[in-house]
Structure 1
Amino acid sequence: MNKVIITGSNGLLGQSLLKLLLQDKENYEVFGFSKGKNRSGREDFTYVSIDITNKENLKNTIIEIKPDFIINTAAMTQVDACENDKKACDLLNITVVKWLTEVSIKINAHLIHLSTDFIFDGKKGYYKETDTPNPLSYYGLSKLKSEEVLLDSNINYTILRTILVYGKVFDMSRSNIVLWVISMLKQGKEITIVDDQFRMPTYVDDLALACKISMDKKAKGIFHISSNKLLSVFEIAQQIAEVFNLDKSLIKPITTLTLNQTAPRPAKTGFDLSKTNKGLEFYPKSFKEDLHRFKEKLM
């Protein structure tokens, strides 16, 4: 029986992980850490209402549970918000990771940490795990620094970098690109989408599965998790419209420059998934195939 703590258990990935791990209660005892009330709609795990930015409380609670694994899904991920409030970004994205690392050493826990394609500058696309990071935004920099915390430590760790995570869970605190496009097109609203940024979106069920595989294999190091084909964000929106039988003509292309975003975004990210295929024996599908799976789940 493995004891697993999921930080950010109320989030999209957190709730997806709960659902996946609680299907196998013989092998996993699950503890969900999040702020406020339990929003997962389930009560078959131990929910801990906790502010993880309170160092002593966080460390003491983890030591009391003594987990075998900690999956850190908690982060400040709004790119412009991180640019505008660097202090809050540092606290959640870097300092909390330091504390989790320190406590993992103490109790010999394996730490699985989520990172992002935004650690790269987007000049080439299809990045390998070994490619040199060069973040353009403060969010990207904070996630790179969080990775460095683990790389410089002596703990057992897995870093899973991912891109544009989407899906749906019981109680959503925020939307994602797929749900937003579906919602707008269903209302018959015209939307503008950038055609000069390229991504490989990640279905949250796949990301949760990659976390579970990392635990089961006790995989160590950095792995890239996303769908398997690079698309422009405009193409992503068009494929959503196609799969959900919505009006593609409502989607209008624009350039990144016209958005006037606070933080710069990398033009072309995307991952080389060969290490993930080999090391995790995990073979992600195309965005369109994943969308069909997601559609079936919504019906």
Structure 2
Amino acid sequence: MSLRVLVTGGSGLLGSALVRQLCSTHDVVATYQTNERNLPFGCGRSVKIDLSHRESALQLFKDQKFDVVINAAGATSVDRCERDRDYVQKGNVDIVENLIAASATARFRLFQISSDYVFDGNDGPPTEHWKPNPINIYGTSKRLAEERIVESKMNAVILRVCALYSNSPSAKSNIAKLVAQSLKSNEVYPAADDLFANPTEVNDLAEAIVKLIGIAELPQILHLAPAEYLSRYEFAIKIAERLGADPKLISPVKIDDLDLPALRPKFAGLRSEIAAGLLGRELKGATEIVKTLPAM
């Protein structure tokens, strides 16, 4: 059944992948705020809008009706979130509160993109039943958004994802692209060997999300990541090997030595057995995806 789907943050890394996956079978509208050039060409329609502005958000839902809203918009720079509270409040909390407000009169099902950073990373990867305990502003904002949604009792599914990257050279900046660019320039890339997660390729993730929106009964919170669990260093080494680059250009470091503004949960990531059962498959791990990267 074809649905009318609103993808917020349609020009972002995940948002653009979602638009591409959806547009062949659904009626898609994608929102963007500044980066129209990153919207997939020829896929659905686009709306320039600041969804953190209450009146603008409510007007959008008065003007148009949607069956599904996938909220892929947000403040994604973990370090900027530590420095810029306005950035994180608008991107990760205000937008969600405005979607909740819109749901009072507009009937839609919300899929909220959340993060493994709602956990402290002391003993991961966690299941959906673990108690969140964020250790940085970004994670705190994502958890606050989750709480707002649960409290609202709206028709919503919270999808926690982690360590997003793309196997497409034309994608927005992401870890795989940064590592590849560094290697192609014959530059050393520092990669933390004590920072773990499940690297998740956005096109494979988008395919999974599109399947989930067609399932009527879902848990309110669902983890969505591959089973393969790697350190940032191990992931970067896999990219170097695929590209035929010197693996010595990947320099193992400790995350604390990088002196980043925001703390990182060291054993982050997600356990996603419930989603795998619903989808009938696990998401593809980095070992499989990296083989599809174009060689140097």
The residue that corresponds to 1:160 in the other structure is 159
The residue that corresponds to 2:32 in the other structure is 34
Cα separation, partners in 2 of 1:252 and 1:37, compared to 1, 3 Å: closer
Give 3-state SS (helix, strand or coil) of 1:126's partner: coil
The residue that corresponds to 2:200 in the other structure is 202
The residue that corresponds to 2:117 in the other structure is 118
How far residue 43 of structure 1 moved from its aligned partner, in angstroms, is 3.2
The residue that corresponds to 2:22 in the other structure is 21
After TM superposition, the score normalised by the length of structure 1 is 0.92
Q: Which letter maps to 2:185?
A: Q
Distance 1:205 1:291 in 2: 13
- Tell me, yes or no, if the aligned pair for 1:197 and 1:267 is still in contact at 8 Å: yes
Cα separation, partners in 2 of 1:203 and 1:249, compared to 1, 3 Å: same
Cα separation, partners in 2 of 1:37 and 1:186, compared to 1, 3 Å: closer
Q: Deviations over 1:138-157 (max 9, x none)?
A: 00000000111111122111
Q: Deviations over 1:171-196 (max 9, x none)?
A: 65x41110011111111111211111
How far residue 37 of structure 1 moved from its aligned partner, in angstroms, is 5.9
* Residue correspondences, number: 293
How far residue 286 of structure 1 moved from its aligned partner, in angstroms, is 2.1
Q: Which letter maps to 1:151?
A: V
The residue that corresponds to 1:150 in the other structure is 149
The residue that corresponds to 1:76 in the other structure is 75
RMSD: 1.8
How far residue 65 of structure 1 moved from its aligned partner, in angstroms, is 1.0
Cα separation, partners in 2 of 1:37 and 1:115, compared to 1, 3 Å: closer
Distance 2:169 2:44 in 1: 15
Cα separation, partners in 2 of 1:150 and 1:176, compared to 1, 3 Å: same
Distance 1:73 1:292 in 2: 27
Unpaired segments ≥5 residues, structure 1: none
Deviation >6 Å, runs of 4+: none
- Tell me, yes or no, if the aligned pair for 2:223 and 2:270 is still in contact at 8 Å: yes
Cα separation, partners in 2 of 1:30 and 1:6, compared to 1, 3 Å: same
The residue that corresponds to 1:87 in the other structure is 86
- Which shows bigger deviation, 269-278 or 179-188? 269-278
How far residue 160 of structure 1 moved from its aligned partner, in angstroms, is 1.1
Alignment of 1:98-113 (within 5 A): 98-113=97-112
Q: Deviations over 1:90-128 (max 9, x none)?
A: 122012101102212321200011011111111111210
Alignment of 1:1-299 (within 5 A): 1-24=2-25, 28-36=26-34, 38-39=36-37, 40-167=39-166, 172=171, 174-218=172-216, 219-293=218-292, 295=293
- Tell me, yes or no, if the aligned pair for 2:200 and 2:285 is still in contact at 8 Å: no
After TM superposition, the score normalised by the length of structure 2 is 0.93
